[in-house]
Amino acid sequence: MSHTSNSTTPPLFWPMDWALPAGVQAVCTTRLGGVSQAPFDGFNLGDHVQDDPQAVAQNRALLQAQLGGARAVFLSQVHGVDVAQLNIATPDGTHADACVTQESRVACTIMVADCLPLLFTDASGHVVAAAHAGWRGLAAGVIEQTVRAVCEAAGVVPAQVRVWLGPCIGPEVFEVGDDVRMAFTAQGDASDAERYFKPHPTHAGKWLADLAGLARMRLQALGVTSVAGNDSAPEWCTVSQRSRLFSFRRDGVTGRFAVCIWRN
């Protein structure tokens, strides 16, 4: 799909089957729409991937126009577990891998191209949050930190937290080494984590990991029961959805899609 620099093809969003509380809205972008040229075509939101900065700025403006007056706050993600408290003045580029806010019209935003994006709210919609979970952040506790932040801000227990898992690299293609498997199986109930790793069919010492499955396991252990979105089925796999989603593992040089959640 090619776009001239003056085209403004509106973004096309990933379908979200998620029951949100009144006053909360969320979107998940795709690579469709936008103005970026190959290999970032077309709706790249990442300003750190060597895309034309003007194209990224135009794409972000196109996203902004879809958020009903909310401002998307773009983090500088570092595969950690820090949860940033966002307000309308939080600068783009704040270093964190998760974010939470009670303010209206501030969109918690996470960019990905294989890692797992998660969106959070409480049953009453008083708080919204988002998190970026590659295997490092997931193993280090980014989900636990984000759920804790939501519970503290909303005054709820995990059973009142609702979570949506976005597209990520799927369990048939996420090839990892023993170090990644050990990062999960050495914690807590190892037998639980073992289920989400299967031996690679052709590479000895390699494993195929189910990133979304590991996230659901972590959420269940916390007592979060309302989990929607990515169920590890092939249609959620960034690598296999070549025409719809960016994938770093597949393409190397590529763009980033994003998830946003905000309160009106």
Conformational region of residue 157, where left means phi above 0, alpha means psi within -120 to 50, and beta covers everything else: beta
- pLDDT tens digits for range 162-188: 999 999 999 999 999 999 999 998 876
Distance CA 192, CA 71 (A): 39
- For residue 255, pLDDT beyond 90: yes
- pLDDT tens digits for range 188-216: 666 689 999 999 999 888 999 999 999 99
The model's pTM is 0.94
Q: What is the CATH number of domain 24-171+230-263?
A: 3.60.140.10
Q: What's the confidence (pLDDT) of residue 191?
A: 66
Distance CA 67, CA 106 (A): 10
User: What's phi and psi for 130, nearest 5 deg?
Assistant: -145, 155
Q: What's the mean pLDDT in 93-106? A: 97
Mean pLDDT of all residues in the chain?
94
- pLDDT tens digits for range 9-30: 888 999 999 999 999 999 999 9
User: What's phi and psi for 149, nearest 5 deg?
Assistant: -65, -40
DSSP secondary-structure letter at 14?
A: P
User: What's phi and psi for 177, nearest 5 deg?
Assistant: -90, 180
CB burial of residue 67 (10 Å; 0-12, 13-18, 19+): middle
Distance CA 146, CA 158 (A): 11
DSSP secondary-structure letter at 13?
A: B
- For residue 93, pLDDT beyond 80: yes
